[in-house]
Amino acid sequence: MIKEFLSQHGEYHDDKYFKDLTTVKMGGHIAHFVMPENTDELKCIVSYLKTNGIPFKVLGNGSNLICGESEYNGVVISLKKFNSYEINNDEVYVEAGVLAPNLAMILAKEGYSCLEFASGIPGCMGGLIYMNAGAYKGSMSDVVKEVLILKDDELLWLDGDELNFSYRHSIFHDHPRWVIVAARLKLTKKNREDIEDLMADRLRRRKETQPLDKPSAGSCFRNPEDGYAWKLIDGIGYRGYSVNDVCVSDKHSNFIVNDGQGTADDYLSIAYQIQDKVKEKYGIKLVMEVEKFNC
């Protein structure tokens, strides 16, 4: 029954695994996976699942997600087909499935400053808004004008100042059933070469300092106030520490990477040890930045 319904409202699969849909390459089988093509299909899917009490997870690029190995018996809704954008003077309308680096490059070529800070973050725009993602002292809260969401079977716009943005947090953490559909971002006209040079410099710095050649979920921990998580991790001697195929990166110790067939249990074993030892030595509670799901 579920399969038949979902097949009528999007591209349906029953052979997907989280390990193939997340950047850290971990996670088990997904019972039902669907990619709607438009808001009408999305609304029908979400309404059906809510009415029938069927759990679901909305997925973008899976770049900030740690998933367990057990089968997920709910529905994963991918917004990868929500990938359109439209530039209009001082703003850009962008759907949730657009990859941030791609949009940053497009805007740069048009001479628009907006997403330079996010040009190296391998996530979709919906995920970046959800996390209030940021880098180089910039974040989504600086550029979001308003967000289109699906709430209680209705589409509505929320103004930027209604989103409760703070460090790596938004209102969507408190309302997990709201679905980010699209957004309008503020644009500033600048010299194209200056924007592209800045983005190239930041990409070079990322390559030099981060393990971009290995599967990861990005930074594992939020930076504490007046400090850096990687310094605390170095301070407890965990740079290079490993559990099975998962290890703390030698290149950047706030990255936990998958060196083979790593699992969420391996990842979380390391993360929890780091939290305990940092708390014991420094009296600081490190907060995980990555999202855990089905763990």
Let me know whether 111 and 180 are in one domain: yes
Whether 23 shows a pLDDT value over 90: the answer reads yes
At residue 287, the pLDDT reads 97
CA pair distance 234, 131, nearest whole angstrom? 26
Please state the pTM of the whole predicted model. 0.94
Distances (CA, A) of 69 to 18, 66, 138, 270, 278: 8, 10, 35, 17, 28
State yes or no: is 139 an active-site residue. Answer: no
Instruction: Point out the catalytic residue in the list 63, 78, 168, 253.
Output: 168
* CATH number assigned to the domain comprising residue 29: 3.30.43.10
Cα dihedral sign, 207-208-209-212: positive
- Domain range for 151 is 85-194
Summarize the confidence of residues 228-235 as an average pLDDT: 98
**Ramachandran bin of 204, using left for φ above 0, alpha for ψ from -120 to 50, beta for the remaining angles:** alpha
Let me know whether 172 and 226 are in one domain: no
For 199-223, how does the pLDDT look when each residue is reduced to its tens digit (9 = 90+)? 999 999 999 999 999 999 999 999 9
Instruction: Point out the catalytic residue in the list 41, 116, 146, 289.
Output: 289
State yes or no: is 69 an active-site residue. Answer: no
For 32-73, how does the pLDDT look when each residue is reduced to its tens digit (9 = 90+)? 999 999 999 999 999 999 999 999 999 999 999 999 999 999
At residue 135, the pLDDT reads 87
Whether 89 shows a pLDDT value over 90: the answer reads no
For 110-149, how does the pLDDT look when each residue is reduced to its tens digit (9 = 90+)? 999 999 999 999 999 999 999 999 888 899 999 999 999 9
State yes or no: is 219 an active-site residue. Answer: yes
Let me know whether 67 and 90 are in one domain: no
Instruction: Point out the catalytic residue in the list 63, 78, 119, 219.
Output: 219
Let me know whether 227 and 245 are in one domain: yes
Task: Provide the domain count of the chain.
Answer: 3
